[in-house]
């Protein structure tokens, strides 16, 4: 089973970001946009795991979630990876730096490493992916609009739980199902 750990987004945030994607999408097929139901903030992609690993991972999530209070997450500004608009591969909305978010992600990395999941080599940059660029052909207008929103506020939500999610790949795209959720204290 293919799994990851994430924060699911409130419906209001998903709606605001879906409207942004509608505006950015100029009908070309050179960007694969994230679907409304697939919007979440990924903490850690675990990949393929056996069912026997599920209880171990859930124990880590239970232990870590008890150490953190709920917190606010603010969605503000747009950008791309790599940064700059010359050769983007990922288009995103920034999540303003929140100490609890960064600490929670770091602790999850540390604890999951003990279970054999390698640490992410790249530094954690809190963001929500809007789309993945397949080709730079004919996306100039989209990139121009993305730049226009680099300081725009897209909303705020209270994070009260983290989710352990299964991702099933289908021809129509990934389908997500929540395996378990863990309340923050």
- The catalytic residue positions are 40, 127
How far apart CA 177 and CA 106 sit, in angstroms, is 24
How far apart CA 58 and CA 39 sit, in angstroms, is 22
The b-or-e profile of 91-119 (16+ CB within 10 A means b, else e) is: bbbbbeeeeebeebbebbbebbeeeebee
| Angle between the N-to-C axes of helices 99-113 and 54-65, in degrees from 0 to 180, rounded to the nearest 10 | 150
């Amino acid at each position: 089973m293919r799994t990851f750990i994430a924060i699911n987004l409130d419906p209001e945030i998903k709606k605001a970001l879906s409207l942004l994607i509608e505006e950015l999408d100029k009908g070309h097929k050179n960007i694969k946009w994230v679907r409304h139901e697939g919007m979440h903030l990924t903490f850690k992609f675990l990949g393929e795991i056996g069912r026997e690993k599920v209880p171990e991972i859930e124990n880590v999530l239970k232990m870590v979630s008890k150490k953190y209070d709920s917190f606010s997450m603010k969605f503000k500004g747009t950008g791309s990876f790599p940064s700059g608009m010359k050769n983007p591969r990922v288009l995103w909305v920034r999540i303003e730096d929140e100490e609890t978010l960064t600490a929670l992600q770091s602790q999850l990395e540390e604890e999951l490493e003990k279970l054999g999941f390698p640490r992410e080599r790249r530094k954690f940059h809190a963001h929500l992916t809007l789309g993945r660029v397949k080709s730079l052909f004919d996306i100039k207008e989209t990139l121009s609009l993305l730049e226009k929103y680099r300081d725009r506020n897209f909303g705020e939500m209270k994070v009260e739980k983290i989710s352990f999610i299964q991702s099933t790949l289908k021809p129509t795209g990934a389908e997500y199902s929540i395996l378990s959720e863990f309340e923050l204290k």
